[in-house]
C-alpha cells in the first residue's frame, strides 16, 4: 500500500505545498490552505492503470505515435440530445468519449436539463445517471415531473469515484451523467468531497474511464459565489467542453453558453425557459426579455434611466433593457454597482460621461441593471448604458421605440460594432422605429421602411438625439447650468454635483 502523505492544498487555486502557509503564494488568498492526507502517489493510482489509447484505422490499440492520416475519425458520429439548441451549442450533439462540464448556480436547472437529455438518449443508447447529490427517490420524483417514468435510464447513487468508473465500463459507447462532480470522492484522499484534491482526482478517474470506454460523459459542476467552478479552473483544463448554465433563478429564462469547445464553435448559445414540465427552448428570447416594454412602444415615452440595447450573443441578437439609477451619495466614495454588466466598463463609461460629455457624476451613486438577469459583456451595449445613466441624472424620458447600439471609446467617440445589420434587423422585426448606431458602421442594408437608422460619431451626439433640447457644449455653459439646475431642482443635489460647476 502506498505511504500516506500529507499535503496542503489551496482551495482557491489548487496550489500544493508540503507545509502550512497562511497565505497562498500562488493566488495570494488568505487562510485557503487545507491539509489533505493522501495515499496516492503524485499521479493517481487509477490514472496509471488506464492508458489513453489511440485507435488506429485497423482498430488496433496503440500507445505509439500514429500518423494523423491513419487515425480513426470517430468524431463524425454524434449522439443527439433531443434538444436542438443544446446540439447546436455542442457543435452537433455529443461526441462519443467526450467529457463535458456543465457548470451553473445551484437550482438553475442542470439536473432537469440532463434528465431531459437522458430521456431522449436512452431510447437508443445506454445511459448511466449518477445521482451523487440526491437519493434515487428524489430522482424518480423529478423524472415523474418530466413525464419520463418509463425511460430506460440507469440511476446510481454511488459517490465513490473508483466504483463509478468501474460501473462506467458497462456503458461503453453510451452516455454517463455525473451529477455532481463535487459530490463524488476519492477513497484515498481524506479531505471532504468538493475540495480541490477530491474534485481533481475524482474527475481524472472518470475522464479516463470515459475515454477508455468511449462514453460521452457530462460532469455537473457547481459554481462558487465568485462565479468560478468550484474545484476551480483545474476542471476546465481537463474536459473537452465547458458549458455555463446562467440566468436568474427567480425568473424563468436560462442561457446555456459554451466557454470552451474542442468540437465546435463557442459562439452559439441556447435559451430556455423553466416551466412546470421542465426546460423548454425559447424561440423568441428578445420578446420574452423586453416583455411589457414592447407593448408600450409607440404610445408612451420610456421612463428616465432606461434604454434598449441590442447585444450579440454568438450568432444571435438579444434585445435587452438597461436600467440606471443616479442618486446623491451619502458615502465619502460614491457607490457604482453593475448587475449583469462589467463593473470596470461602467467606471470607464462614467469617466467618459464626466470628462467628455460634461455631466457631473462625481458625487453620485450609480446603479446599472440589465433586466432579465442576464450577464452580458458585449461592448456594443456602452451607448445604451451611457444614455440610461444620463437620462436618469437629468430625469428625462426617452422615446420608447429607439434602440442604441455602439461601443464608446475613452475619447467619447462611438466605435464600430460587429453584426450591426443583424442587430438593427432584429430591432425592426420587433417594431423599433429608430436605431442610433456608430456612423463608421454605415451604410447598412435595412429594407424595413419603418426603421430610421441614425449614425453618430460621439456619445454626446447620441445623447442630444435621445434628449433633444439639451445643450452639452461648454461654450453655452450658462444655459446648460440653467437646464441642469432645473432638472435637479427638487432633488437637493449638492452644488458641486451640477454639471460644469
DSSP string computed for 68-93? GGGB--GGGS-B--S-HHHHHHTTSS
> Cis peptide before 180, with omega less than 30 degrees from 0?
yes
Contact region for Mg ion (CB under 5 A) — 106-114, 336-344, 427-435, 453-461?
106-114
Compare residues 110 and 119 and give the one whose CB is closer to ligand TYD: 110
Of the candidate residues 96, 97, 109, 360, the single one contacting ligand TYD (CB under 6 A): 109
Integer CA distances (angstroms), 481 to 351, 356, 463, in order: 20, 16, 17
Compare residues 179 and 413 and give the one whose CB is closer to ligand TYD: 179
CB of 275 to ligand TYD, least distance (A): 6
**Total chain residues near ligand TYD (CB under 6 A):** 15
Determine, following the binding rule CB under 6 A, whether residue 274 of this chain makes contact with ligand TYD.
yes
Compare residues 272 and 367 and give the one whose CB is closer to Mg ion: 272
Determine, following the binding rule CB under 6 A, whether residue 278 of this chain makes contact with ligand TYD.
yes
Please, where are the H alpha helices in 239-381? 285-290, 292-296, 343-352
Of the candidate residues 277, 300, 335, 355, the single one contacting ligand TYD (CB under 6 A): 277
Residue pair 175/215 in contact by the 8 Å Cβ criterion: yes
Compare residues 251 and 498 and give the one whose CB is closer to ligand TYD: 251
Determine, following the binding rule CB under 6 A, whether residue 145 of this chain makes contact with ligand TYD.
yes
What CA–CA distance (Å, rounded) separates 262 from 95?
A: 10
Determine, following the binding rule CB under 6 A, whether residue 298 of this chain makes contact with ligand TYD.
no
Determine, following the binding rule CB under 6 A, whether residue 104 of this chain makes contact with ligand TYD.
yes
The angle at the Cα of 379, spanning 377 to 382, to the nearest 5 degrees, equals 115
Contact region for ligand TYD (CB under 6 A) — 85-93, 269-277, 422-430, 447-455?
269-277
**Total chain residues near Mg ion (CB under 5 A):** 1
CB of 168 to Mg ion, least distance (A): 20
- 208, interface contact from ligand TYD, Mg ion, none, CB < 5-8 Å by kind: none
- Partnered with residue 418 across adjacent β-strands are none
Contact region for ligand TYD (CB under 6 A) — 101-109, 164-172, 406-414, 440-448?
101-109
Contact region for ligand TYD (CB under 6 A) — 104-112, 166-174, 327-335, 370-378?
104-112
Question: What torsion, rounded to 10 degrees, do the Cα atoms 170, 174, 180, 184 define?
Answer: 20
Of the candidate residues 58, 150, 226, 276, the single one contacting ligand TYD (CB under 6 A): 276
Q: Among positive and negative, which fits the CA dihedral 192, 195, 199, 200?
A: negative
Residue pair 288/253 in contact by the 8 Å Cβ criterion: yes
Of the candidate residues 44, 81, 111, 402, the single one contacting Mg ion (CB under 5 A): 111
Of the candidate residues 32, 44, 111, 304, the single one contacting ligand TYD (CB under 6 A): 111
- 112, interface contact from ligand TYD, Mg ion, none, CB < 5-8 Å by kind: ligand TYD
Crossing angle, helix 343-352 and helix 382-394, to 10 degrees?
60
x/- map, 123-142, ligand TYD, by CB under 6 A: -------------------x
What CA–CA distance (Å, rounded) separates 324 from 368?
A: 4
Residue given cell 465546435 in the structure block: 264
Contact region for ligand TYD (CB under 6 A) — 229-237, 270-278, 364-372, 387-395?
270-278
CB of 399 to ligand TYD, least distance (A): 37
CB of 417 to ligand TYD, least distance (A): 33
The distance in angstroms from the start CA to the end CA of the chain is: 77
- 198, interface contact from ligand TYD, Mg ion, none, CB < 5-8 Å by kind: none
Compare residues 115 and 387 and give the one whose CB is closer to ligand TYD: 115
Of the candidate residues 28, 84, 107, 227, the single one contacting ligand TYD (CB under 6 A): 107
DSSP string computed for 407-456? EE-TTSBEEP-TTHHHHHHHHHHTT--EEEEEGGG-------TT-EEEEE
Residues whose CB is less than 8 angstroms from the CB of residue 387 and which lie 6 or more positions away in sequence, other chains included: 307, 398, 404, 462, 463, 466
- Partnered with residue 308 across adjacent β-strands are 321, 403
Residues whose CB is less than 8 angstroms from the CB of residue 82 and which lie 6 or more positions away in sequence, other chains included: 116, 117, 119, 120, 121
- 85, interface contact from Mg ion, ligand TYD, none, CB < 5-8 Å by kind: none
Contact region for ligand TYD (CB under 6 A) — 24-32, 105-113, 231-239, 364-372?
105-113
Q: How many CB atoms lie within 10 A of CB 328?
A: 14
Contact region for ligand TYD (CB under 6 A) — 48-56, 106-114, 201-209, 456-464?
106-114
The length of the chain, given as a count of residues: 501
Q: Among positive and negative, which fits the CA dihedral 471, 474, 479, 485?
A: positive
Q: Taking Cα atoms as reference points, which of 418, 422, 142 lies closest to residue 279? A: 142
Compare residues 133 and 382 and give the one whose CB is closer to Mg ion: 133
Determine, following the binding rule CB under 6 A, whether residue 231 of this chain makes contact with ligand TYD.
no
CB of 473 to ligand TYD, least distance (A): 53
Compare residues 110 and 356 and give the one whose CB is closer to ligand TYD: 110
Residues that bind ligand TYD (CB under 6 A): 104, 106-112, 142, 145-146, 274, 276-278
Residues that bind Mg ion (CB under 5 A): 111
Amino acid at each position: 500500500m502506498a505511504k500516506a502523505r500529507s499535503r496542503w492544498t489551496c482551495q482557491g487555486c489548487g496550489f500544493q505545498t508540503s507545509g502550512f502557509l497562511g497565505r497562498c503564494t500562488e493566488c495570494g488568498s488568505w487562510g485557503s490552505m487545507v491539509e489533505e492526507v493522501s495515499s496516492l502517489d503524485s499521479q493517481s493510482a487509477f490514472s496509471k492503470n488506464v492508458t489513453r489509447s489511440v485507435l488506429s484505422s485497423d482498430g488496433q490499440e496503440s500507445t505509439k505515435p500514429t500518423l494523423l492520416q491513419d487515425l480513426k475519425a470517430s468524431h463524425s458520429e454524434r449522439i443527439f440530445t433531443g434538444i436542438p439548441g443544446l446540439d447546436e451549442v455542442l457543435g452537433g450533439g455529443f461526441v462519443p468519449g467526450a467529457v463535458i462540464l456543465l457548470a451553473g448556480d445551484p437550482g438553475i436547472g442542470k439536473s432537469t436539463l440532463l434528465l431531459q437529455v437522458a430521456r431522449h438518449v436512452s431510447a437508443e443508447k445506454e445511459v448511466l445517471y449518477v445521482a451523487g447529490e440526491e437519493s434515487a427517490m428524489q430522482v424518480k420524483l423529478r423524472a415523474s415531473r418530466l413525464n419520463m417514468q418509463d425511460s430506460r435510464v440507469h440511476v446510481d447513487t454511488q459517490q465513490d469515484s473508483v466504483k463509478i468508473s468501474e460501473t462506467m465500463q458497462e456503458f461503453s459507447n453510451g452516455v454517463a451523467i455525473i451529477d455532481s462532480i463535487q459530490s463524488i470522492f476519492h477513497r484515498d484522499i481524506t479531505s471532504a468531497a468538493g475540495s480541490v484534491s477530491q474534485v481533481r482526482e475524482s474527475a481524472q478517474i472518470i475522464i479516463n474511464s470515459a475515454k477508455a470506454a468511449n462514453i460521452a460523459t457530462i460532469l455537473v459542476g457547481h459554481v462558487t459565489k465568485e462565479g468560478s467552478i468550484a474545484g476551480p479552473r483545474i476542471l476546465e483544463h481537463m474536459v473537452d467542453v465547458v458549458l455555463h448554465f446562467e440566468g436568474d433563478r427567480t425568473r424563468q429564462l436560462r442561457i446555456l453558453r459554451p466557454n470552451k469547445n474542442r468540437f465546435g464553435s463557442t459562439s452559439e448559445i441556447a435559451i430556455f425557459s423553466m416551466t412546470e414540465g421542465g426546460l423548454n427552448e425559447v424561440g423568441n428570447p428578445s420578446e420574452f426579455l423586453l416583455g411589457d416594454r414592447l407593448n408600450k412602444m409607440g404610445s408612451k415615452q420610456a421612463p428616465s434611466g432606461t434604454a434598449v440595447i441590442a447585444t450579440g450573443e454568438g450568432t444571435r441578437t438579444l434585445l435587452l433593457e438597461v436600467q440606471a439609477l443616479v442618486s446623491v451619495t451619502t458615502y465619502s466614495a460614491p457607490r457604482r454597482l453593475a448587475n449583469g454588466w462589467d463593473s470596470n466598463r461602467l467606471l470607464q463609461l462614467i469617466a467618459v460621461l464626466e470628462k467628455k460629455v460634461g455631466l457631473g457624476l462625481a458625487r453620485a451613486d450609480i446603479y446599472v441593471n440589465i433586466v432579465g438577469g442576464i450577464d452580458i459583456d458585449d461592448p456594443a451595449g456602452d451607448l445604451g448604458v451611457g444614455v440610461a445613466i444620463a437620462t436618469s441624472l437629468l430625469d428625462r424620458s426617452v422615446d420608447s421605440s429607439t434602440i442604441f447600439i455602439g461601443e464608446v471609446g475613452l475619447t467619447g467617440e462611438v466605435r464600430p460594432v460587429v453584426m450591426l445589420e443583424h442587430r438593427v434587423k432584429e430591432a425592426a422585426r420587433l417594431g423599433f422605429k429608430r436605431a442610433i448606431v456608430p456612423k463608421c458602421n454605415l451604410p447598412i442594408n435595412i429594407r424595413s421602411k419603418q426603421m430610421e437608422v441614425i449614425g453618430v460619431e460621439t456619445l454626446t451626439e447620441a445623447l442630444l438625439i435621445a434628449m433633444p433640447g439639451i445643450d452639452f457644449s461648454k461654450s453655452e455653459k450658462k444655459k446648460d447650468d440653467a437646464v441642469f439646475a432645473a432638472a435637479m431642482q427638487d432633488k437637493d443635489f449638492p452644488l458641486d454635483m451640477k454639471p460644469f460647476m
